Amino acid sequence: MADITTQMNTTKQMQAGFSRSQVSLAFVAIAVVLTIAQYAGLLPAALFRLPESMIPPFAIWLDAIFTFVKDDLGLLAVTRWLTGGLQWLLDVTANLLFGKRRWPNIGPIPWTSIAAVAGVIGYYLGGWRMALLGAGVFTWTALIGQWKIAMETMSVLVVAAPLAFVIGLTLGILAWKKPWLDRALKPILSVLQTLPFFTYLLPAVIFFKVGPTAGAVATTIYAIPPMILMTTLGLQKVSPEVVEAGNMSGCTKWQLLRHVYIPSARTEILVGVNQVIMLCLAMVVLTAFIGMPGLGAKLLAMMGSFKLGRSFEIGVTIVLLAVMLDRMSKAWVVKQPEHFEKGTPWWKKHAMLLLGIVLFVLFILVSKVIPEAQTLGRTQNFSQGKEIDNLIKGFLNIDIVKSTTGFLRAFLNVQILIPFRNFLLSIPTPAFILLITAFSLWLGGQRQAVLAAVFFSLVALSGWWDRSVITLYSVISAVALASLIGLPIAIAAARSPKWSERVLLICDTAQTFPSFVYLIPAIMLFGITDIAVIFSILIFAMVPLVRYTIEGLRGVPSEMTEAADMAGATRLQKLRSVQLPLALPVMAIGFNQAIMFAFFMVIIAAFIGTQDLGQELQRTLAGTDMGKNFVLGLCVSLMALTFDMTLLKWANDRKKALGLES
């Protein structure tokens, strides 16, 4: 991500001889003075907010550039041409998976066949439990009556994921071979990873037509960065002796790559595959916003009409698919080749492959006789949407639940959140930028401070300052609340290995859920309110926070805690003076991820109805307002990058100072 920052030399003292914290304090003091002046009515309006007349028309400039690239350079013609090929592929998978009337016109494949093959793959990768998971998830999807929409989603996924894999692998290898490409890619990748997904969607729509093609393109691009990073990382980690052994065996360059490097980097490459699949799933659900049919679109519609029961069921399906894909791809990572005893007959060596084919064909034949094995009709499914709906609404109507959520809405919103938001909005722009700069200087260093100042000044220049501050407000409030709840949980769990494991497992699983499903409980509990927005971000951001805190605390070397015990420290003393300081760098990484997740989620929460950048971004999707879309997207990205580089720099510096491996 922000490796650019880690490669920096350690910060030098400020030239004037002041220490970093002194300068930071001075910045804060100026900011406070400016804010007080504003309250006293002494600040000229031009210093409070940049006057409209001074805001450069970035959007119009960008639009002009886009039009030039699109029409004059003929990029549109190229992409529309590419669309043809992609469209053809998507039609094939659509035909096979849910019977869209396109070539090769043989689909849809019966759900029983797909479930059986998933079971066999599961068994091959991870034994009986994985087999049950694989077959079970598809059976659930069919029985609950969501087969068609799930397959609409899958038909894009099975095209986008391999595409992202191939492109990512190729770019990763090139970046590893050519250092200049690596240097050029790194900053682009960190911007791409912080860019809100709406910014991926609009160009996709403009260049690749509305519908599955645009969805597939946006999904692919979104999933490429981690594949590049993991490939490069894996190739760099190949042991030099193995490479030398390859060289001494007389490998040519190509042989070395094909037979030595890539197989040796297998683990990292497969971890990349896992990430590609998970990101693809998360994104493909979100393409609902540009009208891609499938699970996401259905979920969006159901939530829009407040059908909580059906939303819940779709959420479960998405989560199950996510868990299955994650577990299976992770099992593939650790799957090691086994040798067969001499003289094993070939059918035994390929037993799983054969079994898969046999079951696949068998169920196709069965479905010719029993139509239920082919597709389940509308009235045959077991959806309990209405009942769950009533159940949830009944639960929310129980006095105690109702009063709790009501109290939270009233108290948290009116007493804390809204005043906080108004306060942030009342800070003059220059003061705000100074505060952020001071923060980056204090935690990061000179370079981080300069970049922070530049980034936030750009946000101010964009003309979307107030909306950006509201976005930031949502992020800060949610992460603060997440810390309040998450840290105690994590600290308590870290005390016993058993609980650590359990909570980590929950975090691991929760992290695989596509972000979209986090909206479901938020809307259920709080309806369409500001609190729901904060709540959805909060639970999403809490996952990395808890996870890294536990890992940080558990990672403290046992000699140190033992030394504390022998020094007669109480549990609290040990926590405060030994465990927390040593765990802090790791916790900072979790904190950073929580902020990144929050920036991601706050945009999705636009669906609930916010007043921030996300809302504006969502509006641009309706038109072809590419310039504005990019300006908004970059505002989010610049704010996120500021936090990212500052916190990671701090975590790295701390690790080095503590002599922990960095």
Partner 1 sequence: MTTDTVISCKNVWKIFGADPAGYLANMPEGHSFDAIRADGYIAGVKDVSIEVSRGEMLVIMGLSGSGKSTLVRCFSRLHDITGGTIEVEGQDIMSLSEKELIELRRNKMGMVFQSFGLLPHRTVLDNVAFPLEMRGQDKHTRRARALEVVKLVGLEGREDYFPRELSGGQQQRVGIARSLAIEPDIWFLDEPFSALDPLIRREMQDEFLRLQDMLGKTIVFITHDFDEALRLADRIAIMKDGAVEQCDTPDQIVLNPATEYVRKFTEDIDKARVVHASVLANKDVTGTGDPVDGKASVQDLARLLVQDTREIIPVEANGKLIGAMKRNDALEVLLGTS
Question: Which listed residue (183, 237, 259, 402) binds partner 1 by CB under 8 A?
Answer: 259
Binding status of residue 566 toward partner 1 by CB under 8 A: no
Write down the least CB distance from residue 249 to partner 1, Å.
4
Residues 180-239 that bind partner 1 (CB under 8 A): 239
Residues 262-321 that bind partner 1 (CB under 8 A): 263-264, 266
Binding status of residue 334 toward partner 1 by CB under 8 A: no
Question: Which listed residue (7, 336, 379, 558) binds partner 1 by CB under 8 A?
Answer: 336
Q: How far apart are the C-alpha atoms of 101 and 99, rounded to whole Å?
A: 6
Indicate the residue among 41 and 337 with the shorter CB distance to partner 1.
337
Indicate the residue among 336 and 558 with the shorter CB distance to partner 1.
336
Among the listed ranges 111-119, 225-233, 337-345, 611-619, the one in contact with partner 1 (CB under 8 A) is 337-345
- Using CA atoms, how far residue 302 sits from 238, 297, 313, 389, 520, in Å, is 49, 9, 10, 11, 10
Indicate the residue among 129 and 266 with the shorter CB distance to partner 1.
266
Mapped onto helix, strand or coil, the DSSP state of residue 659 is coil
Indicate the residue among 262 and 412 with the shorter CB distance to partner 1.
262
Structure tokens at 457: 């000044």
Residues 98-137 that bind partner 1 (CB under 8 A): none
Q: How far apart are the C-alpha atoms of 311 and 317, rounded to whole Å?
A: 10
- Using CA atoms, how far residue 660 sits from 11, 360, 491, 651, in Å, is 19, 52, 21, 11
Structure tokens at 304: 């829009």
Q: Is the previous residue joined to 263 through a cis bond, with omega within 30 degrees of 0? A: no
Task: For residue 506, give every residue at least 6 positions away whose Cβ sits within 8 Å of its Cβ, in sequence order, or none.
Answer: none
Buried b (16+ CB within 10 A) or exposed e, 182-216: beebbeebbbbbbbbbbbbbbbbbbbbbebbbbbb
Write down the least CB distance from residue 187 to partner 1, Å.
25
- Using CA atoms, how far residue 319 sits from 141, 284, 293, 401, in Å, is 11, 13, 18, 26
Question: Which listed residue (13, 255, 426, 573) binds partner 1 by CB under 8 A?
Answer: 255
Write down the least CB distance from residue 239 to partner 1, Å.
7
Indicate the residue among 252 and 558 with the shorter CB distance to partner 1.
252
Q: How far apart are the C-alpha atoms of 131 and 147, rounded to whole Å?
A: 19
Question: Which listed residue (101, 339, 378, 498) binds partner 1 by CB under 8 A?
Answer: 339
Identity of the amino acid at 317: T
Among the listed ranges 4-12, 87-95, 254-262, 322-330, the one in contact with partner 1 (CB under 8 A) is 254-262
Asked if 582 and 651 count as a contact pair (C-beta separation under 8 A), the reply is: no
Query: Where are the strands (E) in 441-540, listed by range?
Result: none
Among the listed ranges 34-42, 151-159, 253-261, 653-661, the one in contact with partner 1 (CB under 8 A) is 253-261
Binding status of residue 661 toward partner 1 by CB under 8 A: no
Binding status of residue 251 toward partner 1 by CB under 8 A: yes
Cα angle, residue 181 at apex, residues 177 and 185 outer, rounded to 5°: 125
3-state secondary structure 304-334: HCCCHHHHHHHHHHHHHHHHHHHHHHHHHHH
Write down the least CB distance from residue 123 to partner 1, Å.
21
Among the listed ranges 129-137, 149-157, 208-216, 249-257, the one in contact with partner 1 (CB under 8 A) is 249-257
Indicate the residue among 337 and 568 with the shorter CB distance to partner 1.
337
Write down the least CB distance from residue 228 to partner 1, Å.
22
Indicate the residue among 264 and 477 with the shorter CB distance to partner 1.
264
Residues 341-370 that bind partner 1 (CB under 8 A): 341-342
Question: Which listed residue (64, 245, 352, 567) binds partner 1 by CB under 8 A?
Answer: 245
Residue 336: count other Cβ atoms within 10 Å of its Cβ: 5
Among the listed ranges 260-268, 489-497, 536-544, 651-659, the one in contact with partner 1 (CB under 8 A) is 260-268
Asked if 462 and 635 count as a contact pair (C-beta separation under 8 A), the reply is: yes
Task: For residue 6, give every residue at least 6 positions away whose Cβ sits within 8 Å of its Cβ, in sequence order, or none.
Answer: 648, 649, 652, 662
- Total residues contacting partner 1 by CB under 8 A comes to 25
Indicate the residue among 270 and 631 with the shorter CB distance to partner 1.
270
Binding status of residue 386 toward partner 1 by CB under 8 A: no
> Residue 444: how many CA atoms within 13 Å on its side-chain side?
30
Give me the phi and psi of 320, to 5 degrees please.
-65, -45
Residues 402-461 that bind partner 1 (CB under 8 A): none
Give me the phi and psi of 8, to 5 degrees please.
-65, 150
Q: What is the largest CA-CA distance in the chain?
A: 91
Among the listed ranges 222-230, 242-250, 309-317, 371-379, the one in contact with partner 1 (CB under 8 A) is 242-250
Question: Which listed residue (42, 242, 352, 357) binds partner 1 by CB under 8 A?
Answer: 242
Asked if 541 and 478 count as a contact pair (C-beta separation under 8 A), the reply is: yes
Among the listed ranges 5-13, 336-344, 402-410, 546-554, the one in contact with partner 1 (CB under 8 A) is 336-344
Indicate the residue among 244 and 501 with the shorter CB distance to partner 1.
244
Cα angle, residue 600 at apex, residues 617 and 163 outer, rounded to 5°: 90
Question: Which listed residue (252, 379, 397, 558) binds partner 1 by CB under 8 A?
Answer: 252
Among the listed ranges 22-30, 60-68, 333-341, 572-580, the one in contact with partner 1 (CB under 8 A) is 333-341
Task: For residue 290, give every residue at least 6 positions away whose Cβ sits within 8 Å of its Cβ, in sequence order, or none.
Answer: 201, 202, 204, 205, 210, 214, 215, 218, 621
Binding status of residue 337 toward partner 1 by CB under 8 A: yes
Indicate the residue among 263 and 371 with the shorter CB distance to partner 1.
263
Among the listed ranges 334-342, 403-411, 533-541, 549-557, the one in contact with partner 1 (CB under 8 A) is 334-342
Write down the least CB distance from residue 173 to partner 1, Å.
18
Indicate the residue among 210 and 334 with the shorter CB distance to partner 1.
334
Indicate the residue among 177 and 259 with the shorter CB distance to partner 1.
259
Indicate the residue among 103 and 346 with the shorter CB distance to partner 1.
346
Structure tokens at 367: 């479905």
Write down the least CB distance from residue 342 to partner 1, Å.
7
Indicate the residue among 241 and 399 with the shorter CB distance to partner 1.
241
Indicate the residue among 215 and 246 with the shorter CB distance to partner 1.
246
Segments in 144-248 forming alpha helices (H): 147-177, 179-194, 197-208, 212-237, 240-248
Q: Is the previous residue joined to 104 through a cis bond, with omega within 30 degrees of 0? A: yes
Q: How far apart are the C-alpha atoms of 187 and 589, rounded to whole Å?
A: 19
Binding status of residue 333 toward partner 1 by CB under 8 A: no
Structure tokens at 447: 């370079």
Among the listed ranges 120-128, 288-296, 330-338, 497-505, the one in contact with partner 1 (CB under 8 A) is 330-338
Binding status of residue 258 toward partner 1 by CB under 8 A: no
Binding status of residue 248 toward partner 1 by CB under 8 A: yes
Which residues bind to partner 1, rule: CB under 8 A?
Answer: 239, 241-242, 244-252, 255, 259-260, 263-264, 266, 336-342
